[in-house]
Amino acid sequence: MNETEARDVVTTALSDVAPEIDLETLDPQMSLRNGADLDSMDFLAYVAAVSETVGRDIPEDDYDRMDTVAGAVAYLLEG
Amino acid sequence: MGVFAMPSLGADMDEGTLIEWLVKPGDHVRKGQVVAVIDTAKSAIDVEVFESGTVAELLVEPGTLVPVGTPLARIEGEDAESGLPPEPARPLPPLTPPIRHLLHQYGLAPEEVHGTGDGGRITRKDVLAAAGESSAGGARTVTHHAPTLQPRPVPASRPRITPRARRLARERGVDVATLASGDAVVTAAVVEAIPAKPAKKDRTAAMRKVTAALMGRAAREIPHYYVAQTVDLTDTLDWLKQTNAARKPRERILPAALFLRAAVLAAQAVPELNGHWDEQFQSADGVDLGVAVATRAGGLVTPRIVGAQDLDLSALMSHLTDLVKRAKAGRLRGTELQPGSITVSSLADGGPDALFGVIYPPQVALVGIGAVAQRPWVLAGELAVRSTVTVTLAADHRATDGRTGARFLAAMGEALTQPEEL
């Protein structure tokens, strides 16, 4: 998976879970839970969607790494 | 012969707009099937039938605003198919004022309710049963014929439309029937080409108005009392972490589900707080758990999880996930908007320490969940840092006293600290 693909996975999951987020203007360093207003249920749905798309578990201990778009992309690239 | 009438989707609804029929005359409908989409001040709602039968006639065209109780369709019950003569009309049983009031609340006529009390007297339970059924066209309970309406022309078949276009049309308040042109499939592009109505903006204002009316009534009528209790959740959260480690992300359980499950157990342990007030308290049979959800449009809805007492922690979590997803998107079902027997409200994670709520009439209690956070706590005589939560209860002082509220919170605290029992 390259960076573009990883970013695509993350943004697709986000736009399904929270269609009100404007991905064009979303700061990739912004906290999704605190800044973009994803509640715990939205966040779980987003993590689940990413995990299912890439076919790999994302343990709860790694949730903090999923909290920004940039962090999530880096996390997936480590895969 | 049954009538599918405009249901009252909650105590605050007087009228609704039929947006779309999902069935046509001649269709067989099964109990629980979504047959129509209705627009209320709060959201578009999928409305189900509660009896199986055959759609005989659609009486109202999409786009029509009608009062609660207006017949929308005739549904022939399965009795009719077996050739049995319709039941003769019964003489009306005497009605007590609370029952009359309740009938009015649900938009039901006395004839529509099968009385099971002395001499066929209608009881509260009968009304609730009929309300549940008629919220979607109970074919069996209705023993008289609906007022005959002039049947309106109905399109012979539903226009062919892509699912995305259908969703879009609904969001924009576009009548799908007007889009059909011959056999051409209606696509999202067709819908997008239609200028959006200003209805979206109005919904926020309308929703505010509905909430204002209901909460105003609660503040005028309900003498609230409040109790609060803080619970050490540290061990429970450790247990939850271990449980979740073995689960795929989508099957993991959030603390929100723990709170709901604990509230259900407490409601069963203290039934004096689980039910409705209508001049006197009536306890509910099961726990229909109301859940306060903020919608994407910025309003508040409190759909209920029917029969929550039968759901274990995992089942409650998946129900909650589904309910919140649809509530946020403004797609709830009619039965979910009937009043619950008790409601749980929590603000987003990292929010205030405690929430002192306003009760949803006709309920008598509202449970508030504060933020879970690390706080100083005395453990075995020492000061320690623990993850705690403050649970509050707003309760109706007409129905119970503070002592009952305290028992409820004790039961919730006990449930929250014994997660393996949840």
pLDDT digits (tens, 9 = 90+) for A3-33: 999 999 999 999 989 888 888 888 999 999 8
**B348–A37 CB contact, under 8 Å:** yes
The listed CATH number (1.20.58.340, 3.30.559.10, 3.40.50.10860, 3.30.930.10) that belongs to domain B223-421? 3.30.559.10
The structural domains of chain B, with segments of one domain joined by +, span 2-134, 163-197, 223-421
Q: Cα–Cα distance between B127 and B134 in angstroms, integer?
A: 10
Ramachandran sector of residue B182 (left: φ over 0; alpha: ψ -120 to 50; beta: rest): left
Å from A37 to nearest chain B CA? Answer: 9
pTM over 0.90: no
- Smallest Cβ–Cβ distance between B321 and the set A20, A41, A58 belongs to A41
For residues B4 and B49, what is the distance between their CA atoms, to the nearest angstrom? 8
Q: In CATH terms, is domain A3-78 a member of 1.10.1200.10?
A: yes
Q: Per-residue pLDDT tens for B107-140? A: 676 666 777 666 667 777 777 777 654 444 333 3
Q: What is the mean pLDDT of residues B1-6?
A: 80
Q: Where are the domains of chain A?
A: 3-78
Side-chain half-sphere exposure of A30, counting CA atoms within 13 A: 12
Average pLDDT (B360-371) is 96
Backbone angles phi, psi at B181, to 5 degrees: -135, 105
Q: What is the band of B331 on the pLDDT scale with cuts at 50, 70, 90?
A: confident
b/e sequence B378-398, b meaning 16+ C-beta within 10 Å: eeeeeeeebbbbbbbbbbbee
Predicted confidence (pLDDT) at residue B91 exceeds the cutoff of 70: no
Largest CA distance in chain B: 79
CA angle B394, B399, B404 (to 5 degrees): 60
Around Cβ B129, how many Cβ atoms within 10 Å? 17
- The pLDDT, as a whole number, for residue B48 is 84
- Please give the CATH architecture assigned to the domain spanning B2-134: Beta Barrel (2.40)
pLDDT at B119: 60
Is pLDDT above 50 for B405? yes
Residue B90 has pLDDT above 60, yes or no: no
Contacts of B220 (CB under 8 A, 6+ apart): none
Q: Looking at residue B363, what DSSP letter applies?
A: B
- Per DSSP, the three-state class of B113 is coil
Are residues B244 and A60, on separate chains, in Cβ contact within 8 Å?
yes
* pLDDT tens string B277-305: 999 999 999 999 999 988 777 788 899 99
- Pairing verdict, β B289-291 and B342-346: parallel
Q: Of B117-131, B181-195, B342-356, where does the model show the most confidence?
A: B342-356
Which pair of structure tokens corresponds to residue B220?
């005028």
Give chain A positions within 8 Å (CB) of B255: 40
Chain B positions touching A41 (Cβ under 8 A) are 254, 256, 320-321, 324
